[in-house]
Amino acid sequence: MSNEYDLAECQEVVVSAERLQRRITELGAQITADYQGRPPLLVGVLKGAFMFMSDLARAIELPVEFDFMAVASYGNATKTSGVVRIVKDLDIDLGGRDVLLVEDIIDSGLTLKYLRTNLLARQPASLEVCALLVREGLQESDPDLKYVGFHIPPDFVVGYGLDVAERFRNLPDIRRFTGTA
């Protein structure tokens, strides 16, 4: 399997850069209102959420803090392996903190379920989720997300932090990937 993909395999824009920024501004305003007096700790899920979390943090008008986790369930494929593992854990203690988990995309919900269980065991004061994208029709149960950027078709997408085999993260928008991995 090669990781040499052609940009021609991701020409169809699903969410434009302008729509992304407009919606992130709206999410930032909503989070600012919801967390007045208790700025949240933003926990970004690497690598996919780094661009979204960066823009989201700038749209939140509170003194937020950041930490990051890296989990693996895809490898270089376009379908989840079904096994989630922590590759990089948090540096900050979550005990008594208001935590906002920032995810790039919710597919099956397996990773989210794993992360929620793991993070709740650390006894935060609260734990909510902000997902940029939800791929429709792939979750076995309601993922119970407080903040969602966009619901998209169940196609595999790249751009704005999302990748296939580490490629296309730098695209300024979200695009459907038509190649195979």
Q: Please give the pLDDT value at position 80.
A: 55
Task: Give the confidence band of 87 by pLDDT, cuts at 50, 70, 90.
Answer: very high
Q: Is the pLDDT of residue 173 over 70?
A: yes
% of the chain with per-residue pLDDT over 70: 90
Q: Decide if pLDDT at 143 tops 80.
A: no
Q: Domain-by-domain residue ranges, the chain?
A: 7-176
23-32 tens-digit pLDDT: 999 999 999 9
Fold of 7-176: Rossmann fold (3.40.50)
Tens digits of residue pLDDT in 28-46:
999 999 999 999 999 999 9
pLDDT tens-place string over residues 50-72:
999 999 999 999 999 999 999 98
- pTM over 0.85? The answer is yes
Q: What is the pLDDT of residue 1?
A: 38
Q: Which residues pair with 69 in a beta bridge?
A: 45
Q: Read out DSSP for 78-142?
A: SS--S--EEEE--SS--TT-EEEEEEEEESSSHHHHHHHHHHHTT--SEEEEEEEEEETT--SS-
Residues forming the active site: 107
Query: What is the structure's pLDDT at 8?
Result: 87
Measure the CA–CA gap between 151 and 14, rounded to whole angstroms. 10
Residue 152, pLDDT > 50, answer yes
